[in-house]
Each structure stands twice: as structure tokens, then as C-alpha cells.
A = this chain, B = another copy of it.
Amino acid sequence: MQLARNNDIADYLIEPDPLRADLTRSVNGTDQNGTVQTISVVEERPLTIYLNAQEIVTAMTIGDYPEYLALGFLRNQGMLLEDDDITGVDYDEDLDVVVVRTARETSYEDKLKKKTRTSGCAVGTVFGDMMEGLEDVQLPATKVRTSWLYDLAAKINRTPSLYLEAGAIHGTVLCRENAPLVYMEDVGRHNAVDKIAGWMLRHDRVAEDKILYTTGRLTSEMVIKTAMMGIPVLASRSGFTAWGVEIAREVGLTLIGRMRGQRFICLAGEDRLIRDVDPASVKVEAGKHGRKGGRA
């Protein structure tokens, strides 16, 4: 068992709550034999995010951490600055609205006009220039042990989650060394990342010793978000896009994909990998916990 020799790993600070009643719904259908089946499906609800008096966006989310989602979204869009004094984060459950307030007066009319529809995305839009602010980013050359990566994958895959309960959802996990710390899920995989960004902002966590693990694909936007968050390592079960790889190499992000069982591919930051475990000694995933490689 991969985790046996690492029983000193920290507990999660936040983990999925698959039994929380408002995150899933039971619906009836029929299976291939015509038998009525009751299955559990994830909820998807709108959340409108305001920055001070300005309506910024309506996000479709499972709705579990609206405040973190709003904070992280605004931070990752560059609409909340590093030194911004956040004077309030008010969530109105009845209106499905979060208002983030800052001491600084904000106005992003121009930014909201420029739209980039991103990959993995419906009619996805990144506001402003996707690459804006990225030219200054050079991530710290944090070392990564391959034993951590195997430990993280094994622990995350065994963690009870909405994915295991209802499927059709993405997960992203903030980790340090071999310990998963904050495990967020959402119908939109970037919501999951934004909720982590919001958590980090609220709790003033440093990024340079962190690893971000995602179930989704390593597209340009995923790489850009991770880099903007200052996290030097991004790992996934899924695959890559060419531009994602290119940006990771430019900003010094260690990029590891196609992580399944013993296997992985490192396409950027190979010099930071410490290969401290023989892959042949890594236990392969049990079918039950073998997550599918999502293509989101």
C-alpha cells in the first residue's frame, strides 16, 4: 500500500462532502434493461459575482463555497490586486449573489469587453488578455519528489467525493509535499481552481511549496491560472495541449500529466523532479478507485 509508509500525512483542511444534501439530487431513469434506476446527479446553479457595484459574471457552480469562488475568480482574473484591502464578502443565498467589496474603487468596464473563449469550455471567456501579467511570472524552482506524486494520487483517488458519488464533476486539490490539503470539486473545473485560489487568498497561504493536482486537462488556461497563483507544480491524470506545454516551459512550471498508476509523463521542469521511488514498487490502482482520465 503506497500510503502505509506515509501515515504522518496531514489531514485535509477541506475535503469533499459527498453526503451534503444540497449538492446532489436523486433522479429516476431507466437502464438498458428498462429497469427503473434512481441515480444521484450533481446540482448546477447560477452564482452572480459582483465586485463592489459592478456585476462581473454569473458562474454555474455546485454552490458549496460561494465566497471562495468569488474571491478566487476575481483574483485569478486580476480584478483583485495583491495589496487590495478586502472589506467584505457578502453572500446572499436567496439571490444567488456574492458581493466582494474592496477599499479601492474598482471599474473593469473595458476589461469585461474583451473576451477569449477558452478550451475545455462551453462558451468560455477569459476577460481581458489571457496572457496579461504572465510575462513577469517566473516560478520558484521547487523540487518535487516522485514519491509525493504517487502518494497524492493514491490518497486523492481514495477520498470520498462527489465524483465517486455522482460523477460528472471535476476535482482540484491543493497539496504540500505528499499531503493533500484542500480538495475542491465543481461542475466547472475552473471553479474548483478558483475556490482554491479564494481559500489561499482568505487564509494568506504561500504558494511556492504547493502542488496543484487536477482531474482535468492541462490546457493553456489551466497552466496560466496555476502560474498566476504562484504554484510551481501542476499534475494531472489527463493529457496536455501544445500551448499549455509551451507556457509551462516559459514560466518555469513543472508539468506532469497522464498520471495513472505507476505511469506519468513530465513535459516541463524535469530538472526539479527527484526520482526517489522505483515506479515498479508503486501499487497499481484498484478498479474501484481508478478514476477515469477526464478530457475536460
User: A106 interface residue, CB < 8 Å from B?
Assistant: no
Whether A32 and B121, one on each chain, are in contact in the complex, defined by CB atoms closer than 8 angstroms, is: no
Task: Tell me whether B122 and A265 are in contact (CB under 8 A).
Answer: no
Q: Provide the bound-state CA to CA distance between A109 and B227, in Å.
A: 33
- How many chain copies? 2
A58 contacts B by Cβ under 8 Å: yes
A294 within 8 A of B: yes
Is residue A46 within 8 Å, beta carbon to beta carbon, of the partner chain? yes
Q: Do A33 and B216 touch across chains, with their CB atoms under 8 A apart? A: no
Q: Residue A42 at the B interface, CB < 8 A? A: yes
Q: Is the CB of B119 within 8 A of A240?
A: no
- Considering only residues 95-144 of chain A, those with a C-beta below 8 Å from chain B are 112-113, 115-127
Are the C-beta atoms of B120 and A120 separated by less than 8 Å?
yes
Question: How far does the Cβ of A103 sit from chain B's closest Cβ, in whole Å?
Answer: 25
Which residues 224-269 of A have a CB within 8 angstroms of B? 238-245, 258, 262-268
The CA-CA distance from A61 to B121 in the complex, in Å, is: 10
In the complex, what distance in Å separates the CA atom of A264 from the CA atom of B170?
Answer: 21
Stretch of A2-10, A174-182, A186-194 on the interface side? A186-194
- Residue A37 is within 8 A (CB to CB) of chain B in the complex: yes
**CB–CB A241/B112 < 8 A:** no
Whether A200 sits at the interface, judged by CB under 8 Å, is no
Sample of 9 further A-B pairs with CB below 8 A, known A58-B117, A59-B116: A28-B267, A29-B266, A43-B242, A118-B121, A120-B122, A121-B189, A168-B218, A294-B295, A296-B296
- Nearest chain B residue, comparing its CB with the CB of A194: B123
The residues of B that contact A268 with a CB separation of less than 8 Å are 29
Q: With an 8 A cutoff between CB atoms, is A52 at the interface?
A: no
Provide the residues of chain B in CB contact with A191, threshold 8 Å. Answer: 117, 119
Residues of chain B with a CB closer than 8 A to A293's CB: 167, 292, 294
Q: Show 25 residue pairs from A and B whose CB-CB distance is below 8 angstroms, ordered by the A residue.
A: A25-B242, A27-B240, A27-B267, A30-B270, A31-B263, A31-B265, A32-B279, A45-B243, A46-B116, A59-B116, A112-B115, A117-B125, A118-B188, A119-B188, A120-B120, A121-B189, A123-B124, A123-B125, A123-B221, A167-B238, A168-B218, A187-B217, A189-B296, A215-B295, A292-B292
